[in-house]
Amino acid sequence: MLEEIFGHYRDYSLFVLRGFVGIVFLTHGSLKFLGGVQGLAAYLGQHGVPLPELMAPTVMAIEFFGGLAIILGTATRLAALLLIGVMLVAMLTVTLKVGFAGGYDLNLACLGGLLALLLAGPGKPAVGGDL
């Protein structure tokens, strides 16, 4: 019964996933830009991330533009791959120490969505296809 109702929309499931995952990263990237590079670099340095002055603008750009690319469905796999790297570094340097709840729980949820997009691609509708 549910297949009859929702089966026609199967092709849009990745579009929905892209929207939610993309908004999370676009928003986090925007907040980092608003907070400034120096503030993020100091935070990364406190948590032992190597080369924080280089990593801060890199993370900001990957989160903002990666989130935008995922929403639009362009270079989805590349954006997902880069964001997976950001999530893994965040987990290893910061959130694993905090624990699951309030720590790496959001990282795991984002990783699941990013892995699905990496494996499946953008789906449709998408702007410009995928790499």
Closest CA to 63 of 113, 22, 103: 22
pLDDT in tens, 7-19: 888 889 999 999 9
DSSP reduced 3-state for 126: coil
Residue 123 has pLDDT above 80, yes or no: yes
Q: What is the pTM of this model?
A: 0.93
pLDDT in tens, 48-87: 999 999 999 999 999 999 999 999 999 999 999 999 999 9
Residue 88 has pLDDT above 70, yes or no: yes
Neighbours of 14 (CB within 10 A): 20
Cis omega (within 30 of 0) on the bond before 125? yes
Dist CA 34 CA 14 (whole Å): 30
pLDDT in tens, 17-41: 999 999 999 999 999 999 999 999 9
Helix-strand-coil percent breakdown of the chain, rounded to 5? Answer: 85, 0, 15
- Where is pLDDT greater, at 7 or 110? 110
Domain extents in the chain: 13-120
